[in-house]
Structures are given as structure tokens and as C-alpha cells.
Amino acid sequence: MSTRPAAPITAASPIRFSDPLPGEVDVVVIGGGVIGIMSALYLNRLGLSAFVVDKGRVAGEQSSRNWGWIRQLGRDEAELPVMMEASKLWEQLDRETGHRTGFRREGILYLSSTQKDLDSQAEWLDIGMRHQLDVRLLDGAGVAELVKTREGGKRWLGGLWSPTDARAEPWAAVPAVADLARSEGVGIRENCAARTLETAAGKLTGVHTEHGFVKAAQVVVAGGAWSSLLLRRHGVSIPQLMVRSTVARTAATAEVFAGNAADEELAFRRREDGGYSLAALGSHDLMIGPDAFRHFFTWLPVAVKSLGQTRFLPVSPKHYPDAWGTARRWSKDEESPFERCRVLDPEPEHRRLGAMRARFAARFPSIGEPGILDIWSGMIDAMPDVVPVVDRVPGLDGLIVATGMSGHGFGIGPGFGKAIAHLAAGRPTGHDLSRFRFSRFSDGSRLVPGPSL
């Protein structure tokens, strides 16, 4: 059994990164999640000095709370080339970190219980084949060869199978890459909130943190669920909201599938510790605040599409990014909202735990309801078209935004991190990033929601 950490990072986790603030760097990266850490690593490899500041802990929020899927299957077609590169980069990073990420190419399987679902998956098969991805449509017998349901267990009609997809352990992987980046010259400081951006004549000149000023001509805002709040303080608006997702960790149990799988009700992933990570599908929680009202009409198309799956919560916890009482204005010399809530650690939805256990038992009756060792939630930074913003901000020279990963950021992190580094260096990214442009919410474009899983 592995001795690696097996649960999310919190504000109670020891501080691991406390490098002194530099007087000046080429790029300040705000946010020590998977996108920020990957961006800093590849910035440094392009010869640009980078320093990462995080208000709490590296990977303290969604980057250590996600499912751990490294998924090409079912991606938005615009994301797929970036994700295919990311998959290769994860394998490389696992080697470079001494195999500390938990990376395993065990495949991802989308399971179908109905012909309608199977037909929908067949449509994505065409996308995968266009990009020369190894993806196959399986019948029920093909699924049964992969997933050990045993007698009395659920039988699926078929499924979409990507054998080259992978899994990793988020709470171990992102800090391991942060260690790698630091060993190569990247500075990282936890418990160091970026309060405000300094500008002159429409250009960035640096970042005011709670511990001092860092001069820089470029800044990457990769603050996850906090990005919108920081940007709005500087007159930059994006329609980002937060969605709560709950995950459980089972005790070690017999292996029923070595990779990651999901049907219409349950997602499960084999873990390094011998258990499974479980998530109940079909519902999520949207916490209502000022931004939810501000961006109501932008979000309306996707809201209508997922209305039956959304539970609306009228109040966010105190000090959350879109809570009613959270400050929207503050100066560089006063405590910011980012210091009042170091790590988003939402209360998990315990009522969903019973559904997770029952659904797992229905699929694998020989195991029954698994023992649960832990349950947690994370706040997903979501965009109305379910794809991120990765772009320079028009009108503010030197500002790059990389946020709104919509629950898909962990797997694609190295791909976007490398693209962001090339963007900052003024080099070709190697990908068409137009789908992720900043201006799509204001240039009259029709928003087309991408896949949600």
C-alpha cells in the first residue's frame, strides 16, 4: 500500500513553500493550483523567471479535491489537442518527479445503460477518431470484460472506452510538480495573498502581496474560484461562478476496474491506496451571490439545460468569493478577502454519501456497500460554456487570465500550463486557443456549452 497522502490539502496542512519574495521577476503567477504550478514550471523552462504566490496552500482547493482523472475522452473538441499533449506531459512529469504523482494509464470508460446514451457516445467517437485518439465503442460483452461486476451486478448496454487515458493522485501530484518546479528555480510562497495589481499607463508593473511588492511586467491570474473577485477589483469582468462537488474515499477493497469509469449515476476511480474515489452524478450545488445575479443572462442557456440537476443555495458561507458580505473593493494596504479565507473547504454533502454507497453496491454486490474513510467537497470554478478562459486581457497589457476550468483542469493542467508559458513568452502555443478567448462573452458570439463531465 502507498504511504502517500490520501486526502485533500487544507489550511491545517503544514506550509511547504515559503520562498522569500523577489524584488522583480518576469512573471508573477497568482494561484498555486495545477494551472498556476504548471504555468510557472514551463515559464521557467522557457527562460522566464516566475514566482508563484498562493493565499493558502499549493493545491489546497480544487486541485487536490478533484477526481484525479487525466481524461481525453469526452473532451470539448477545442480542448482535445491541448489535452492530448497534457496526457503525454503528465507521463513525463511523473518520471521527472520520481513517480510521485500516482500516474497510471489504466483507461477511462463511459458506461451506457440506455441506447440513447450509447448513441450520444457514438457521436463523440467521431471526434476522437478525427484526432486519431485510441477510442472504441464497446457492447455489453466488451464492458463485462473490463468491469468485474460479477453475478447479480449491474449490466451495461455498452460504453465508450479510451485505453490510453490515465489517473493520478491530485493531493500528491500537484505538490510533487511544485517541488520539481522549485528545484529548477521557480519561487513559491504559500500563505501569501496577492492583494492588488499595480498598473501604469495601461500596463502591469507588479503585484502587491500581503508581504510586499513584486515588480513584474506580466501576471498570470490562475486563482480558480477566486479569479473573478480579484479581476473585478481591477475592472475586469468574467462570468465565473462556483459549483460545489462532493467526493468520497472508500477503504481498500477488491479491484473491480483499474481505471476511471462513470455511468449516469456514479463515477468511480481506482486509487493508489487500494480503495476508490466515488462521486454521485446527476446533481450539483450552485451558491447564489452577487455574481450569480450579475451574470444571470449569460448563464441562462446552460442553466436551462441543467436545471433539473442544479440545487440552488441562497447563501454562500462567510468570506467565500461570491458571498453577500465579501468585500469587492480594498486597497493594497488593507486585509483582502483572500486573507480572510485561506482555503475553500466547503462542508461536504453527507446526504449524498448514502447514494454513493448504494449505487456502488448495486453495481458490485459481491463487495456491497464500501466502508468510507473520508468525504470532502470542492468549489469548481465554472464558466457558462463549460470551457475556460485562457487569454491575454484586452486593454491591460501584461495580464493573462487562466481560469474557469469547469472541473476539467487537473488532467489538462500541463497542456494549458505550457500554452500559457508560450503565450507569456510571445511564442506560438501550438494550439488554437480561440474557443478560450477572453472576448467571447462580449463580442456577440453565441455561447455553445461543451461537455459537462
Q: Which of 72-76, 388-392, 443-447 has the lowest mean pLDDT?
A: 443-447
Q: What is the DSSP track for 70-86?
A: E--TT--TTTHHHHHHH
Average the pLDDT over 399-416 and give the result: 97
Q: Please say if the pLDDT value at position 3 is more than 60.
A: no
Average the pLDDT over 416-420 and give the result: 98
Average the pLDDT over 307-314 and give the result: 66
Q: Please say if the pLDDT value at position 307 is more than 60.
A: no
Residues linked to residue 242 through DSSP beta bridges, in sequence order: 381
Predicted confidence at residue 303, as pLDDT, reads 62
Average the pLDDT over 125-138 and give the result: 96
Residue 126 vs residues 100, 122, 130, 334, 388: alpha-carbon distances, Å: 35, 7, 6, 54, 23
Q: Please say if the pLDDT value at position 39 is more than 80.
A: yes
Q: Dump pLDDT digits (tens) for 224-249.
A: 999 999 999 999 999 999 889 999 99
Predicted confidence at residue 292, as pLDDT, reads 82
pLDDT band at 270 (very low <50, low <70, confident <90, very high): very high
| Dihedral sign of CA atoms 126, 440, 290, 79 in order | positive
pLDDT band at 305 (very low <50, low <70, confident <90, very high): low
Q: Which domains does the chain have, with CATH numbers?
A: 27-441 (3.50.50.60)
Predicted confidence at residue 392, as pLDDT, reads 98
Average the pLDDT over 49-62 and give the result: 98
Predicted confidence at residue 153, as pLDDT, reads 72
pLDDT band at 378 (very low <50, low <70, confident <90, very high): very high
Average the pLDDT over 138-145 and give the result: 94
Region class of 284: left (phi > 0), else alpha (psi between -120 and 50), else beta: beta
